[in-house]
Amino acid sequence: MISTVPADPIYFDHHATTPCDPRVVEKMLPYFTEHFGNAASLTHVQGRKAANAVEDARIAMARFFAVQPNEIYFTAGATESNNIALNLVQPGEHLITTAVEHRSILAPAWRLESQGVELTVLRPDSEGFIDAGRLRDALRPNTRLVSIEAANGEIGTLQPLPELAAVCRERKVLFHSDITQAAGKVPLDFASLDLASFSGHKFYGPKGIGGLFVRRGIKVPPVIVGGGQEKNVRSGTVNVPGVVGMAAALQLRALEMGDEAPRLTALRNELRDRLVSGIEGVSVNGPRGLRLPGNLNVSFERVEADSLIVAMRRFSLSSGSACSSGQHGPSPVLTAIGVPEALAMGSIRIGLGKSNRGEEVAMFVDDAKRVVARLREISAA
């Protein structure tokens, strides 16, 4: 019998998540079965094997980031890491963040504000950049922490972290960065950071595992209390296979990122140019340069993004952050950079990754031409 099951659509949503690399899965497998010990059970071999694997992973990750192993704490992901980092700020102190941050920064920031923390949310320019001068002007004598992402997951903007961090260091204010979208994709200078959050599944590692870099000497109060694991920064039995997998994924990125970034940049530029020149009424959101290699965000005039995404059935696409999908209304990131509502509602985010090839870009442009023309015809009728 001939199978009628259609192939999965081509994945163009690598900002939402990435597939776990099979080489990573292979490294993880023994830690579910053979080496199943609890990394806190140091009284027996099974536990010590698990603890050794966790410490080896910590060393590997620290080497990749050029930090000390005891500055890396394992968590369940960037959401948790962001919450822990912001938890440093006490009522009566001042927190600065930006309007283009992920919800896992903005939601805890708003909650802290309701608990008596002073909050400033900086506005970006029209490409999503945060200006160091504006940051300097926003600092107050009681500013405790500034949190600015390394890269935006919708429009790809790469923030000038060393410059922003220098402003903070000058005034002895802690600087945290949510590096979730940038880690393993572009080089990062940890020397300028005091704290940084990341998630394994954004760089071809497993989901549900992440980490927080905390520069030595900085004390972070835990969000979750319990058994005191991870030096009390994050209680709970350590996810050993996850930690092993995340470190293996990052080690692969160290080998592959250098070649992949220019390849994805070229692929993205080709896609952008062919969409803009081949379809009337297409505009690009976010910066032209200084942007995540695989990221593209485009608005189609007189088209609803939701209809476009459904009609482009050969591709997996999204209109914005997966964590905000299901919410109606324009993307807060696009609103913050001044994209008018009607255009923002016709915007899609494309995240190219390891598996994507030139033929897929050509296919996408062909499909988009047809689909956009049809949707415009329907809406004009």
Residues lying near ligand PMP in the complex (CB under 6 A) are found at 77-79, 102, 104, 149, 153, 178, 180-181, 199, 201, 210, 321-323
Closest contact distance (angstroms) between CB of 74 and ligand PMP is: 13
Query: Cα–Cα distance between 350 and 12 in angstroms, integer?
Result: 6
Check residue 333 and give left, alpha or beta (phi > 0: left; psi -120 to 50: alpha).
alpha
Query: Cα–Cα distance between 208 and 238 in angstroms, integer?
Result: 11
Closest contact distance (angstroms) between CB of 292 and ligand PMP is: 11
Nearer to ligand PMP, 149 or 360 (CB): 149
Catalytic-role residue among 138, 261, 290, 323: 323
Query: Cα–Cα distance between 340 and 343 in angstroms, integer?
Result: 5
The CB density around residue 327, as the number of other CB atoms within 10 Å, is: 12
Closest contact distance (angstroms) between CB of 178 and ligand PMP is: 5
- Look at residues 350, 324, 351, 318 and name the one whose alpha carbon lies nearest to residue 336: 324
Nearer to ligand PMP, 70 or 327 (CB): 327
Residue 32 C-alpha from the chain's centroid: 27
Six-digit token string for 318: 């999204």
Query: Cα–Cα distance between 368 and 381 in angstroms, integer?
Result: 20
Q: Which residue has the tokens 């990062």?
A: 188
The CB density around residue 244, as the number of other CB atoms within 10 Å, is: 26
Closest contact distance (angstroms) between CB of 106 and ligand PMP is: 10
Closest contact distance (angstroms) between CB of 207 and ligand PMP is: 7
Nearer to ligand PMP, 210 or 332 (CB): 210
Per DSSP, the three-state class of 326 is: coil
Q: Is the dihedral of CA 152, 156, 159, 161 positive or negative?
A: positive
Residue 323 among the catalytic residues: yes
Nearer to ligand PMP, 85 or 303 (CB): 85
Q: What is the CA radius of gyration of the chain?
A: 22
Which residues have a catalytic role annotated?
323
